């Protein structure tokens, strides 16, 4: 089984970066999400930073990839969509 892995790393233009890749096995601290047979894993540290986010497959001139297209936990991000800043309440 292949899983799409979403994790958040520190760094990037706005402080945090989305990292998306494929994995075959969930880690012990992963939350597994299954939506209509599509399986995704997110570690428990990254989960609060992307809770409620929308991930979509994008086909662009520069390539094809899964991208975070909306994140209610973010107050802004870079133009390419790979880094973001956390919304401070």
CA contacts within 13 A on the Cβ side of 29: 7
- Read off the tokens for 16: 């945090």
Per-residue pLDDT of the chain (89 residues; tens, 9 = 90+): 899 999 999 988 888 999 999 999 999 999 999 999 999 999 999 999 999 999 999 898 878 989 899 999 999 887 776 788 988 87
Q: Which residues pair with 68 in a beta bridge?
A: 55
């Amino acid at each position: 089984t292949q899983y799409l892995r979403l994790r958040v790393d520190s760094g990037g233009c706005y402080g945090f970066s989305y990292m998306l890749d494929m994995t075959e096995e969930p880690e012990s601290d992963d939350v597994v999400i299954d939506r209509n047979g599509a399986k995704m894993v997110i570690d428990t540290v990254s989960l609060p930073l992307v809770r409620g986010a929308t991930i979509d497959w994008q086909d662009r001139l520069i390539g094809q990839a899964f991208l975070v297209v909306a994140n209610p936990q973010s107050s802004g991000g870079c133009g390419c969509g790979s880094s973001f800043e956390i919304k401070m309440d």
